[in-house]
């Protein structure tokens, strides 16, 4: 199936967000079975929300709408960080340095894009 090229595909922050989702899905698979419908599900949803909101914003009309969805994506990153820290506190993940590094890199890219879009409004 051939994909149609979209503007958001060119955004490095969207690309990194997609990689973050893949990584978080791997983390979620390693959580205890009894967390399958709770914490694991929340981790996946928060991670997916990041590139999904970037894409939705890029597909909207205008910079204000784009900015709105970028800030939602940033909120999802904060939620994801909280969930990862909780997993660490509950000893589900022994070392979250890799996850936090990937998250922080994505957040830095997203903050840069948010600042650039704000300057254009």
pLDDT tens-digit profile of 68-112?
A: 999 999 999 999 999 999 999 999 999 999 999 999 999 999 999
Residue 4 lies in a domain: no
Supply the range of the domain harboring residue 81.
9-120
Residue 42 lies in a domain: yes
Q: What is the pLDDT of residues 7-44, one digit of tens each?
A: 899 999 999 999 999 999 999 999 999 998 899 999 99
Q: Where are the alpha helices (DSSP H) in 36-96?
A: 39-58, 63-89
Residue 3 lies in a domain: no
Residue 70 lies in a domain: yes
Residue 2 lies in a domain: no
> Measuring CA to CA, which residue among 50, 56, 57 is closest to residue 74?
50
Residue 1 lies in a domain: no
Looking at the structure of the chain, the number of domains it has is: 1
Residue 49 lies in a domain: yes
Residue 35 lies in a domain: yes
């Amino acid at each position: 199936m051939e994909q149609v090229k979209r503007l958001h595909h060119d955004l490095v922050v969207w690309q990194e967000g997609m990689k973050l989702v893949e990584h978080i899905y791997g983390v979620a698979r390693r959580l205890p079975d009894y967390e399958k419908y709770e914490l694991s599900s929340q981790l996946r949803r928060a991670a997916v929300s990041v590139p999904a909101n970037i894409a939705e914003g890029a597909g909207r009309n205008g910079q204000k709408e784009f900015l709105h969805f970028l800030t939602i994506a940033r909120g999802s990153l904060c939620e994801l960080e909280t969930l990862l820290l909780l997993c660490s506190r509950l000893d589900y993940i022994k070392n979250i340095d890799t996850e936090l590094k990937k998250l922080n890199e994505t957040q830095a890219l997203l903050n840069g894009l948010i600042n650039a879009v704000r300057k254009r409004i």
